[in-house]
Structure 1
Amino acid sequence: MLVNLWLVGAWIALAIIVVVLVFVLNRRRRRREGVAVHVAHSDRLTTLPGYAAALRRYRVLLAAVLIAATLLAAAAVLLSGRLVSLTTVQPEMRNRDIVLCLDVSGSMIDYDAQIVETFSQLTEEFDGERIGLVLFNASAVTSFPLTSDYAYAREQLDTLHADLVDPDTDWAFANGTLLGNGSSMIGDGLASCVMRFDDLDTERSRSIVFATDNYVAGEQIMTLPEAGEFAQSKDVVVFGLNPGDVDSLDYIGEFADEMREVVEGTGGTYWALEDPAAVPSIVEQVQARQAESFTGEPILVVTDEPTFPVLAGFAALAAVMFVGWRLRR
């Protein structure tokens, strides 16, 4: 679109040049075709200082209009060719990937809205890392894949939070999470989140923020300890958030102990959801892993540079119009 506008401007400039030149030449032709008046001894007139000065001024103005018209044409040609500058930049990137792994089984629904708020807090603290969100129950689905577009990630988390707190929600966010023998397959859910990491051959920091009460109600393909070993084999660190780890729920102690043992076995830490130190501690530990940044692939940046030919064209056009007006006098 920009190139087309420049072409239109170039044609307009050339048209103006043609009009001005035609006007000047036509005026000169009319003067030559006017009624001739024979003057004796006219050679004496041409030797007068005033006549000589006027002739020099006319020649200077004529040369000026030709130069200005040439400059205007050159500016139009440059604009039509689209002047650009090429630079190569290498963006700085973080070599950390974080998958937010959320249990959306029935025992977790009352806590999930709060956990999603916690996830939103995490995204506000990260800078340059890639994050993704996986929801699981009997099976796992990717809510959004690993991305460094935090605006998009927060938009998805806000939408999920709105669905969770809406009393008339249609539970569409849970579509695809019930394809299994039972519900709340904790081990399968963690293993699925480990499998969401890409580029496993590259050296990157990979972490999972794993939110579940670890209350299994079905037949799992992989137990939680087995899923923890799978995470260790892929060099994935798991940080656990357990909303069920509260003093009033004594029955949850066994599940909490198993979850704590698994996540700590991967090099991560275990937190009760209500612990105010959970979010800042997780962020600090994630950012402490391979904290150095690396340079991304070179990107060629093309920048339009029309300023000089545009200014030169306007100056030349103004000069053509002014000198043309002076030639009429």
Structure 2
Amino acid sequence: MEVIFWWMPLLWLLVIAGVVAVLLWLRRKRAGADSSSLPIANSERLTSLPGYARALRRYRALLAGVCASIVILLLVGIGLTMRFASVDVRQPELKSRDIVLCLDVSGSMIDYDSEVVDVFSDLADEFEGERISLVIFNASAVTYFPLTSDYDYIQRQFAKLQEEFVSPDQSYYEGTLIGDGSSLVGDGLASCATKFDAPDDPRSRSVILVTDNLIAGEQIFTLPEAGQLAADRNVRVYGINPGDSSAKSYLDELATEFKQVVEATGGGYFALEDPENIPAIVDAITAEQAALMKGPVQLVRTDEPGFFVLLAFLGVAGLFVLAWRLRR
């Protein structure tokens, strides 16, 4: 327990002394100007009556009670302005997860990408401390927005991308066609794995890679090489593969490679037939890991006015009751 404004009693004493001095001056001035009062003869006969004596004692007792209530309220005022407070030192734990959403925006992926972006838009409302980035790729990768925890900005960017997905202009893929081929997954993953800053911070780093792994063209990084790059940077890769379904059994070899690469990073692999399954998959991914960081040490002062509030209640109640009795 500590007193924040310990000097307040001195200020109150000065104020009270000033008020008393003014009242005394006014009383002297009034007494000097009032010469009309006359003594009453034989007043002792009245004051010696038992009824008068009882009434006088009751009056003095009530007046003393009123004065005591005023003193209590005055002390309460002093106590409240001094601000008695408890002091606690805290070091909060903050969730620190960085997530790069890595979307293959080739023609076969748009319906799934739209669902993933929609789910992440909903999740962003629940995040606290997590940072999110969005990278889209086809023949080349483009950072749609970098790692940030500005969730209003993130929501605006997700909404903008959703509009571009359904726009006749299809401007979402601008910058992703610089290269030889399409759906170059290895290059896309390598780009996403290098988007994490502050390598010395103990943050959890994850890439959610959404692709059907249908590579067409010449890559700089193969998918296994990109996976190794991510693992070397302590980045877990979680793969969502719409191309892995019972209706596409001829893609088993590609799905197997995809699964082996992401699991080698410590991440996970999810086959997908129905886009409506994506919310459950993303929930599982985001619930799996979140490193805890120690936040800055905080000195927390909490006002403790309870005792003075109780005294104030008693003082006000007593003042009203005694003043009412005194008036009668």
Task: Give the structure-2-normalised TM-score.
Answer: 0.65
Q: Which amino acid aligns with 1:51?
A: Y
Q: Is contact 2:69–2:316 with CA below 8 Å preserved after alignment? A: yes
Q: Is contact 1:93–1:295 with CA below 8 Å preserved after alignment? A: yes
Q: Is contact 1:86–1:302 with CA below 8 Å preserved after alignment? A: yes
Q: Which amino acid aligns with 2:73?
A: L
Which residue number in structure 2 is paired with residue 163 of structure 1? 163
Label 1:187 to 1:249 Cα distance change in 2 as closer, same or farther (>3 A). same
How far apart are 1:93 and its partner, in Å?
4.5
What whole-Å deviation, never above 9, does each CA across 1:56-109 have from its counterpart, x for those lacking one? Answer: 223222222222222223333444455554444444455654433222344422
Which residue number in structure 2 is paired with residue 52 of structure 1? 53
Q: Which amino acid aligns with 1:163?
A: E
SS at match of 1:108: helix
Which residue number in structure 2 is paired with residue 116 of structure 1? 117
Matching residue within 132, 140, 143 for 1:141: 143
Q: Which amino acid aligns with 2:232?
A: S
For 2:61 and 2:113, the matched residues in 1 are separated by: 84
How far apart are 1:296 and its partner, in Å?
4.7
What is the CA RMSD across the aligned residues, in angstroms?
A: 4.8
Which residue number in structure 1 is paired with residue 242 of structure 2? 243
Q: Which amino acid aligns with 2:130?
A: R
Which residue number in structure 1 is paired with residue 11 of structure 2? none
Taking only the aligned residue pairs, the percentage that are identical comes to 41
Which residue number in structure 2 is paired with residue 6 of structure 1? none
Q: Is contact 1:99–1:207 with CA below 8 Å preserved after alignment? A: yes
For 2:229 and 2:76, the matched residues in 1 are separated by: 66
Q: Confirm whether residue 266 of structure 1 aligns to residue 265 of structure 2.
A: yes
SS at match of 1:200: coil
Structure 1 unaligned regions, length at least 5: 1-13
Q: Is contact 1:207–1:286 with CA below 8 Å preserved after alignment? A: no
How far apart are 1:239 and its partner, in Å?
1.8
For 1:168 and 1:304, the matched residues in 2 are separated by: 60
- Note the 1:290-301 alignment, pairs <5 A: 296-301=295-300
- Note the 1:73-222 alignment, pairs <5 A: 73-82=74-83, 84-94=85-95, 97-117=98-118, 119=120, 123=123, 130=130, 132-137=132-137, 138-143=140-145, 145=147, 147=149, 159=159, 162-163=162-163, 166=166, 171=171, 174=172, 177-178=175-176, 180-181=178-179, 184-216=183-215, 222=221
Q: Is contact 1:194–1:236 with CA below 8 Å preserved after alignment? A: yes
Which residue number in structure 2 is paired with residue 66 of structure 1? 67
Structure 2 unaligned regions, length at least 5: 1-14
How many matched pairs?
300
Task: Give the structure-1-normalised TM-score.
Answer: 0.65
Which residue number in structure 2 is paired with residue 3 of structure 1? none
Between 1:295-304 and 1:135-144, the stretch displaced more is: 295-304
Between 1:105-114 and 1:241-250, the stretch displaced more is: 241-250
SS at match of 1:235: coil
